[in-house]
Chains A and B, each alone.
Chain A
Amino acid sequence: MQRIGVFVCWCGSNIAATVDVEKVSQVLAQEPGVVFSTNYQYMCSQAGQEMIQESIHKYQLTGVVICSCSPRMHEATFRKTCEKAGLNAHMVEIANIREQCSWIHKDMATGTEKAVILGRAAIAKVHLNAPLTAGQSPVKKRALVIGGGIAGIQTALDIADAGFDVDIVEKQPTIGGKMTQIDKTFPTLDCAACILTPKMVDAAQHEKIHIYSYAEVEKVKGFVGNFQVTIKKKARYVDETKCTGCGLCTEKCPQKKVPNAFNLGLDNRRAIYIPFAQAVPKIATIDADYCTMLKSGKCGVCSKVCTAGAIDYKQTDTYIEEEYGAIVVATGFNPIKLDKYDEFAYSQSPDVVTSLEFERLMNAAGPTGGTLLRPSDGAHPHTIVFVQCVGSRCDDEKGKPYCSKICCMYTAKHAMLCREKYPDTDVYVFYIDVRTPGKNFDEFYRRAVEEYGVHYIKGMVGKVVPQDGKLKVQASDLLGGSQLHIEADMVVLAAAIEPDETARPLATMLTASMDTNDFFTEAHPKLRPVESPTAGIFLSGACQGPKDIPETVAQASAAAAKVIGLLCKDSLTCNPCTAQPDELMCNGCSSCEKVCPYGAITYADKEFRGPNRTTLLRRVAQVNPAVCQGCGACTVACPSGAMDLKGFSNQQIMAEVDAICR
């Protein structure tokens, strides 16, 4: 028989306001095996913890039940407390009478009744608990960063500077991400390329960083400290070790009509290309969709002009296997597609552009060499209308419910730059609200209005009609209470941003959770913002939610700090709550092996005593406790009930259910 102590926490008034804590401790004192029961204002406080420890000694407790908040909150705290008093950590059970009881009930009687029942269930379980000891697993001292935008680069640089090896996997031929396409950055208006490209070069030259460009993560196995990752290096048909990045091939390639993705299709490039001048690595890539040689076997110009002999039409995808202790997700964002917003005539007129396209049209390395010209006829636009919240803060299914966060500021930047470079242009910005919560952000926006004379109008554009070379904009002025008709030369749409489309399949591979908008979920929205709930997976940048550059960089460094903290350790304490097969009951069906997401289950042939002194050779399941994460999938899959989870055995769960139903 266990000697159990029950400790009921008031949590100030959080619990005590709806649960009669005195009564709960009194009723639970009558449960079999309970030798001591009490309540206290803050059980997690130092005084509360000391009370628990003293009681363990005084009453020689073998099990402890704490009726308090969610185990996610303080299970670890109370386990440590009891361990210090000489009790095994797994002899402690938490009955959650806060989140699942006092917070959701309004009536004292029902709240108290439920708290008693939850306490009883925990007591019933402690009776069957056994001390568990955790093993150790080694940590592979190498990190993987998925995505080579500013987030991924910053995380990789910080980890590498701490002395650990880092690999960056980037799906594009160059690292740099969205920031490479941006012209100027708010609120200081420094040039994006000037602050980004040195970092790209730093990453490339860092002895601890290896960049896999034009590559994707194909498969992930393992767990925190021991991930096994397969990386697919896509065929770029250019030998990376030979290409010098001279760019001759990109000038001689006869296939000139390939939409230039870097300039968002606003101009064309060749079938063999280097995305932009400062690309890292500066290696040419052949676009297999457009290359005449790859499609029909008739061309080979690039191969002839390449003095380094780097062109290799026979190159195939290659796969690299590598082990990592930690994985950082930095997959970033994309503007949404605007096909559901054609009231703004995006598909009807080339002069209706997205804000990212507008960045390219303002950029000195863009299709117009930095002069703002209308895509339709190359004329200088005199009236420009900016529409904010296109797809953001949308209450129906066609858009996104959230605020994309960066649009107010970049639109203010665009408007300001237009007025500065071309004072003869009239610039209108239509907004629902202008949101500028950031250091020096509101000052920036006010400058756009007050110093640069940008017309900010609260209201939305209802329709854009392309006609006679103009864009007829119909809009409402909510403050003026009037309808506006503006004849514009260009319309710029601040499209909502959404996570990159590769994020969802990657999350599945990593068993990392996502929210309904496909942003990665953090382990705690306030207190653990850069970790995924899945151990060993960290989040950097806009893959976790819309972010501007300063915030992205801050989060990237925070993620790096967490990774460094993990990689510093030589070994990790394993979860002792692992699966355990009953070999006598196992029939060797492999059901558990198939469902195990960690590959922790193998099969072995073992000798068993049969009837009449015979020996039987039977195939039975074996669990590797260092690999098992205790998810419990196998215990449910096993048709013969041979698999049990230590600390959560079928017997223990049934005892809890019985106690609740008593």
Chain B
Amino acid sequence: MTYSYFPGCTLRTKGKELDQWGRAAAEVLGFALEEPENWQCCGAVYPMAKDEIATRLSSVRVLADAKAQGRELVTLCSACHHVIKRVNGDMQRDADICDKVNRYLKLDTPYAGETNVLHYLEVLRDRIGFDALKEKVVHPLTGVKIGAYYGCLLLRPGKEMGFDNPENPRILEDFIRAIGAEPVIYARRNECCGGYCTLENKSYATKQVDKIMDNAKAQGAQMLITACPLCMYNLKENATNGLDVKYFTELLAQALGVKEEAK
């Protein structure tokens, strides 16, 4: 199976591990991730203004490209996934936005949200299946107690993202089980990491992250995993006495035997 794959800017710079191990694991799991030519920014932040078109254009370019290839579009970065998925929803549901975008882009065939957008985790859950993943694991992470940290971008708004139950998600916990480790359920796993507050009000971001870390530690987590580069930044840089944090793809690659365990 070949998917169109949109890595996004961060996965080329700060978040290389997320990308690198995601690709390595995909090879083992038997699916190909093919980048569209000349992809651009996802738009970075989903525009809240209904009449804001420019920010939506770059997402639509990559969506239309995937449609032309006849493929589903896979993302890995939470922020890119959030923007692309929601813009795709706008193209399906908002006739006004759809019309303006198509006039602006002058595509060969008009685009109206036909491409299916999947997060890498959704590929694991819905296309590969966690049971099948489990069978491919060669180095199960037996005994490791891992807390899943979701953040907000993948889950909310719940109806638009359609990713998991936003209040009580389980996809990362199921993933943790599939790679042989033990998931730790803790209440703050879907609370805000501080987001971009870290730029202007670092102490607030620290307060947020510390609450998350304290809660995860109290429930017995030994480490956290995430799918979001911004969460990763906040969890790593702003925590006063934090746990180790890794991208989920790193552990996936490790369990599948394509990454040596970092000692």
Contacts and interface: CB of A to CB of B under 8 A. Distances in A.
Interface stretch (A49-57, A460-468, A536-544): A460-468
A467 B168 contact: no
A468 B218 contact: yes
Given A465-B215, A467-B214, A348 B168 contact: no
Interface stretch (B94-102, B122-130, B185-193): B185-193
B2 interface: no
B165 A348 contact: no
Those 9 A-B pairs whose CB atoms lie nearest each other, nearest first: A465-B187, A343-B167, A342-B168, A343-B168, A345-B187, A467-B218, A467-B215, A465-B215, A463-B187
B20 interface: no
A348 B167 contact: no
B9 to A, nearest CB: 32
B165 A465 contact: no
Interface in A443-481: 462-468
B116 interface: no
B191 A463 contact: yes
Interface string B241-258: 000000000000000000
A476 to B, nearest CB: 14
Contacts of A348: 185-187, 219
Interface string B201-215: 000000000000011
Interface in B198-240: 214-215, 218-219
Contacts of A398: 165
A340 B165 contact: yes
A343 B185 CA distance: 10
Nearest to A347: B185
Interface string B39-55: 00000000000000000
Contact of B185 (A341, A342, A468): A342
Interface in B162-184: 165, 167-168
Contacts of B168: 340-343
A308 B146 CA distance: 55
Contacts of B191: 463
A348 B191 CA distance: 16
A345 B218 CA distance: 14
A489 to B, nearest CB: 16
6 contacts: A340-B168, A398-B165, A463-B187, A465-B187, A465-B215, A468-B218
Nearest to B188: A465
Contacts, number: 34
Contacts of B188: 463, 465
Contact of A343 (B187, B214, B215, B219): B187
A interface: dominant SS: mixed
Interface of B: 165, 167-168, 185-188, 191, 214-215, 218-219
Interface in A371-407: 398
Given A343-B167, A343-B168, A398-B165, A464 B187 contact: yes
Contacts of B186: 348
Contacts of A340: 165, 168
A466 B220 CA distance: 13
A275 to B, nearest CB: 32
Contacts of A467: 187, 214-215, 218
A341 B186 CA distance: 13
B149 to A, nearest CB: 14
B187 A466 contact: yes
A639 B218 CA distance: 69
Contacts of A464: 187
A363 B237 CA distance: 51
Nearest to B166: A343
A464 B186 CA distance: 10
Contacts of A341: 167-168
Contacts of B187: 343, 345, 348, 463-467
Nearest to A349: B187
A340 B165 CA distance: 8
A348 B215 CA distance: 11
Nearest to A339: B168
A527 B216 CA distance: 56
A465 B214 CA distance: 11
Contacts of B185: 342, 347-348
B190 to A, nearest CB: 8
Interface string A325-352: 0000000000000001111010110000
Given A343-B168, A348-B219, A467-B218, 5 more contacts: A341-B168, A343-B167, A343-B187, A348-B185, A465-B188
A343 B167 CA distance: 6
Contacts of B218: 466-468
Nearest to A345: B187
B122 to A, nearest CB: 18
Nearest to A338: B168
A103 to B, nearest CB: 33
Contacts of B167: 341-343, 462-463
B124 to A, nearest CB: 21
Contacts of A468: 218
Interface string A347-363: 11000000000000000
Contacts of B219: 348, 466
A348 B184 CA distance: 10
A157 to B, nearest CB: 44
B218 to A, nearest CB: 5
Nearest to B187: A465
Nearest to B217: A467
A426 B71 CA distance: 58
Nearest to A341: B168
Nearest to B167: A343
Interface string A252-289: 00000000000000000000000000000000000000
A347 B168 CA distance: 11
Nearest to A466: B187
Contacts of A342: 167-168, 185
B209 to A, nearest CB: 15
A204 to B, nearest CB: 44
A462 B166 CA distance: 11
A346 B165 CA distance: 16
Contacts of A463: 167, 187-188, 191
A662 B232 CA distance: 73
A386 to B, nearest CB: 19
Contacts of A466: 187, 218-219
Nearest to B159: A396
A337 to B, nearest CB: 13
Contacts of B165: 340, 398
Residue of B187, B214, B215 contacting most chain A CB atoms (<10 Å): B187
Contacts of A347: 185
A429 to B, nearest CB: 20
Interface string A461-505: 011111110000000000000000000000000000000000000
B204 to A, nearest CB: 15
A462 B218 CA distance: 20
Nearest to A464: B187
Nearest to B184: A348
A241 to B, nearest CB: 50
A348 to B, nearest CB: 6
B212 to A, nearest CB: 10
A474 to B, nearest CB: 9
A462 B215 CA distance: 16
A343 B170 CA distance: 12
